[in-house]
Chains A and B, each alone.
Chain A
């Protein structure tokens, strides 16, 4: 199975200096695989860097679209059976690709996520390893495995992190890729994984596919910004509105969301939850359209999705 390694880039020339050579080496080591840089309207010299130093790498410059939309455009442009999405701050190991492609040979598998490590070899917490989920009172809570002893075998997980995931393009297209509902970023990969499980596919975690993530380089820095926290909280609400189809749980969860807003998190004095809920309300019409599609196409219940993603049932 041929694959295209797609590095998503936005003003990340300094990050490409490390991540791109590693991707090129890994693509060559695993056979005849392609490497692409999907650029989200960079204003730095990423284009010059790639075209001069890596002429074999395809550089696609897209208009500003946010993470999800740029991924969708890049996957559409790829011509291989499989694709691997990589953040520009993720440095792959030379042999990371074959285990991913071996897992994808199983037709029931939609996507496979890599093992994310910090540069010092410890598990990174910014990009999740073996993610599971649980509907609590107000939202879907995500759990990232932090015990290295639990991360030694290929196993199911709720979703593969968009920073390092492989998938079959046909299945991606059937699912419609990342949803614009979550633009510009956050929760689109969780949503995609949830939808894949909901249609009967599986998502796996592959510990043999190791990549390194320098948390301090991009997301680790911006995750502290209140605006980014607001987008993440808004998208967590939108995820619920779109994906939680169990009627009783849906009503209980929405009732709990009003209490969630009342007990706000005081981060820098910002009432984030109320702002997040109001921001989500602005996208209500779009969320309703996406939810209607889920109602038509979902074949697996919410409870069963989470069970399967934890490896508790077939």
Chain B
């Protein structure tokens, strides 16, 4: 995998303070795909971080742009490789990054698992990535159901108990 004509799509929701981790990933990526042009997909928060690392082409997701628009813009670059950096600590962010990589339809997908200090990219097939997206989606659904059940129980019990034992207090002041 080499040659100056390659375009690599970098998918990351990095934030300030994570420059070193992203730089390490970029270095590892440059070894894997030498001379490639890097296009990044990030958020309004990650865009300045990526710019500071010398990435000029950034598609900003979540800044008035829908996921569909970002996917279509990314497809125009016809990237051969997509690299996912799992830097964001939240579950939904991981799911979105993987879903974006799948939807853009890139042939080769690399991922940098959060294993500092030296992240190494590993190739993941589209089928495995699709399974990962499905598993994460189901897990989120399960968590949402558990969360709804627990908060519904809490809300009902607290409201019932408050009505039976509480007073007017300041809740309506």
**Per-residue interface assignment for chain B, residues 136 to 158, with 1 indicating a CB less than 8 Å from any chain A CB and 0 otherwise:** 00001101101110111111011
Stretch binding the partner chain, chosen from A123-131, A203-211, A255-263: A255-263
Question: Which B residue sits closest to A297, measured CB to CB?
Answer: B169
Identify which of residues 67-122 in chain B touch chain A, using a CB-to-CB cut-off of 8 Å: 89-92, 94
Q: Is B162 on the interface with A (CB-CB < 8 A)?
A: yes
Contact B89 A267 (CB under 8 A): yes
- A287→B158 CA distance, assembly (Å): 8
- Chain B residues at the A interface, C-beta cutoff of 8 Å: 89-92, 94, 140-141, 143-144, 146-148, 150-155, 157-158, 161-162, 165-173
Contact B151 A257 (CB under 8 A): yes
Question: Which B residue sits closest to A269, measured CB to CB?
Answer: B114
**Given known A-B contacts A258-B150, A261-B143, A288 and B157 have beta carbons under 8 A apart:** yes
A299 neighbours in B (Cβ, 8 Å): 169-170, 173
A254 neighbours in B (Cβ, 8 Å): 151-152, 154-155
- A301→B171 CA distance, assembly (Å): 6
Contact A277 B150 (CB under 8 A): yes
Q: Is A247 on the interface with B (CB-CB < 8 A)?
A: yes
Question: Which A residue sits closest to B143, measured CB to CB?
Answer: A262
In-complex Cβ contact of A281 among B92, B144, B150, B169 (8 A): B150
A-B contacts, 9 listed (Cβ < 8 Å): A241-B154, A247-B172, A257-B147, A261-B143, A263-B91, A277-B150, A284-B157, A285-B157, A291-B161
B48 vs chain A, min Cβ distance (A): 20
- A203→B173 CA distance, assembly (Å): 21
Contact B171 A295 (CB under 8 A): yes
B151 neighbours in A (Cβ, 8 Å): 254-255, 257-258, 277
- Chain A residues at the B interface, C-beta cutoff of 8 Å: 198, 241, 245-247, 250-251, 254-255, 257-267, 271, 274, 277-278, 280-281, 284-285, 287-289, 291-302, 304
**Given known A-B contacts A266-B94, A301-B173, A281 and B153 have beta carbons under 8 A apart:** yes
Contact B147 A262 (CB under 8 A): yes
- Majority SS of interface residues in chain A? helix
Contact A264 B91 (CB under 8 A): yes
**Given known A-B contacts A267-B89, A288-B161, A295 and B169 have beta carbons under 8 A apart:** yes
A257 neighbours in B (Cβ, 8 Å): 147, 151
Contact B169 A296 (CB under 8 A): yes
B150 vs chain A, min Cβ distance (A): 5
B159 vs chain A, min Cβ distance (A): 8
**Given known A-B contacts A198-B170, A266-B90, A301-B171, A281 and B154 have beta carbons under 8 A apart:** yes
Question: Which A residue sits closest to B94, measured CB to CB?
Answer: A266
- A247→B155 CA distance, assembly (Å): 10
Contact A289 B161 (CB under 8 A): yes
B172 neighbours in A (Cβ, 8 Å): 247
A167 vs chain B, min Cβ distance (A): 22
3 shortest A-B CB distances, which residue pairs?
A295-B166, A261-B147, A258-B147
A280 neighbours in B (Cβ, 8 Å): 150, 154
In-complex Cβ contact of B167 among A261, A263, A296 (8 A): A296
In-complex Cβ contact of A263 among B92, B157, B161 (8 A): B92
Question: Which B residue sits closest to A295, measured CB to CB?
Answer: B166
**Given known A-B contacts A261-B147, A262-B143, A284 and B173 have beta carbons under 8 A apart:** no
A2 vs chain B, min Cβ distance (A): 34
B166 neighbours in A (Cβ, 8 Å): 291-296
Contact A261 B144 (CB under 8 A): yes
A182 vs chain B, min Cβ distance (A): 16
> Which of B89, B155, B170 has the most CB atoms of chain A within a 10 A radius of its CB?
B170
- A227→B150 CA distance, assembly (Å): 21
